[in-house]
Structure 1
Amino acid sequence: MRTLLMTTVLASALAVAGAASAQSTIRPGQTIQGNFSAKDARMGDGSHYRCYVVQTNPDEAYTVTLSSSDFDTYLSAGAGADCDDTSITNDDGPDMGTNSQLRFASSGGLWIIKANTLSEGETGRYELRVSAGERIRPTTQVLPVSVGESRSGRLEFSDRRADDGSFYDCYALTIARAGSVAIRLDSGDFDAYLGLYEGPQCDGDSIASDDDSGGGTSAQIVQDLRPGTYSVRANTLGSSEEGDYTLSVTSRR
């Protein structure tokens, strides 16, 4: 019964979302051999692509790999079954030459995977693989940070996950004396995003948030704070991004 229900869900989604281009299904743990020809659908840049739908489970991470010895590969993926709605992309890595690989964490339901050639008119054989789901057990740890301190960290699949699928670490910040505080998040691996909250758990409505006020992809919040306990989300802007970062808190006079 469960297999029949999953098949029905996938078929319904493909009927709705498959008008723009032909879509196929791929299962977690499955490897598919394919071949791009001049007859395949093209992106606006002239590159060929095919779309695959995978049924995922809640709180599981998946690795998608696209490899070919005939052309430079390009991968994209996103929640849902719309081939035009992808939020995660990868060209050459990590350290995979012209092969592509990406990872994503799912809240369950359908995900779309777009297998793509990097350049216009490329054709040839390829292999697309989706790993079996890896169970995610996010940490609930709250880390301390003080005014005048910098902390190094790394965001990855074992961290907390926001509603948009982005990972974050939670830092508790105690303010002993009222004044202006600058909170900054820098990373060379991802676009940084900051959130500031009342209380120690990084929940509820944020007092302030920021994307790029630190310059480039760095985030910065400058806020007048009363004495008390606050919390800071060191967050990625995009979903399923991973990487190293530095969080710093300084006083402003």
Structure 2
Amino acid sequence: MRALMTTSVLAASLLLAGAASAQSSIRPGQTVQGNFTSKDARMDDGSHYRCYTMQTNADEAYTVTLSSSDFDTYLSAGPGADCDDTTVSNDDGPDMGTDSQVRFMSNGGLWVIKANTLSEGETGRYQLRVSSGERVRPTTQVLPISIGESRQGRLEFSDRRADDGSYYDCYSLQIARSGSTAIRLDSGDFDAYLALYQGPQCDGDSISSDDDSGGGTSAQIVETLRPGTYSIRANTLGSDETGDYTLTVTSRR
């Protein structure tokens, strides 16, 4: 009896693991119809999910949409084929009610997409749609900014990309007289990151960098600068993040 119970438990465990690891494939430009039932794999929070892998091309952006009239959707995606290792996620937006949408830029290779119910035990029909790849070439533009000026900007897939996969805009700053200069980056859409460089191109070793010195997720650098040309990276802390920001440069005495 003990051996029989052990075998039964093992079989059940293998069945659950098989359901959790099962993956389907989806192609760019394809739409698939699905139906969550009580037999589908569950997350630790009890919500059902299915995993899809997709072959992507380098330097192309993709939009993935998960919609359902039966349950509140949750969607996540990430490079590779591990359904537990996703880097972008979304619940309700943008402006899509209970449908979900993520957009990401690929360096090529496989991406995994996790279609998920938001809450425990939800079931029902859904539609998963992937756009065709959109070719994106990052800008090389350098934007001017002066002391006493604030600039509104937006980081997106067409912006420069750092080695860690984060997006940034490059600003050129002319300093006429030596003095203390404060540079601040604020955003309600992402965790801000700043870096200051000698020269106009935001490259080489940074003079200074900062994550959260501006309070919360705002970044701030305060440095005494000599006359010359400097450049500022208005940057996201994490990879694949996008959104609006405000960059402000002021003089301090």
Q: TM-score of the superposition, structure 1-length normalised?
A: 0.88
Report Cα offsets for 1:67-100 as digits up to 9, x if no partner.
Answer: 0111000011111211111111100011100000
How many angstroms apart in 1 are the aligned matches of 2:191 and 2:69? 32
By how many angstroms is 1:168 displaced? 1.2
Structure 2 partner of 1:159 = 159
Give structure 1 stretches of 5+ with no counterpart: 1-17
Report the Cα offset of residue 19 of structure 1. Answer: 9.7
Q: 1:149 and 2:146 equivalent?
A: no
* Separation in structure 1 between the aligned mates of residue 130 and residue 162 of structure 2, nearest angstrom: 24
For 1:185-224, what aligned pairs fall within 5 Å after superposition? 185-224=185-224
1:118-157 residue pairs with structure 2 within 5 A? 118-157=118-157
Residue of structure 2 in register with 1:104 after alignment: 104
Given residue 174 of structure 2, which amino acid in structure 1 is its aligned partner? T
TM-superposed deviation, 1:226? 2.5
Matches within 5 A, 1:177-192: 177-192=177-192
Distance 1:218 1:48 in 2: 36
The count of aligned residue pairs is: 236
C-alpha separation in 1, matches of 2:86 and 2:193: 20
- Whole-Å Cα distance in 1 between the matches of residues 57 and 110 of structure 2? 9
The gaps in structure 2 that reach 5 residues or longer are: 1-17
Identity, % of aligned positions? 84
Deviation at 1:238, TM superposition (A): 2.6
Distance 1:74 1:204 in 2: 40
Deviation at 1:142, TM superposition (A): 0.2
Q: For the Cα contact (< 8 Å) 1:50–1:116, is it kept in 2?
A: yes
Using the alignment, how far apart are the partners of 1:74 and 1:19 within structure 2? 19
Q: Could you tell me which residue of structure 2 aligns to residue 75 of structure 1? A: 75
Q: Does residue 238 of the first structure (1) align with residue 238 of the second (2)?
A: yes
RMSD between aligned residues? 1.6
Larger radius of gyration: 2
Instruction: Work out whether residues 19 and 40 of structure 2, in 8 Å CA contact, stay in contact via their aligned partners in 1.
Output: no
Deviation at 1:20, TM superposition (A): 5.7
Tell me the SS of whatever aligns to 1:39: coil
Relative to the length of structure 2, the TM-score reads: 0.88
What one-letter code is carried by the residue in structure 2 that aligns with 1:94? P
What does residue 250 of structure 2 align with?
250
**Cα distance in structure 1, aligned partners of 2:31 and 2:197:** 44
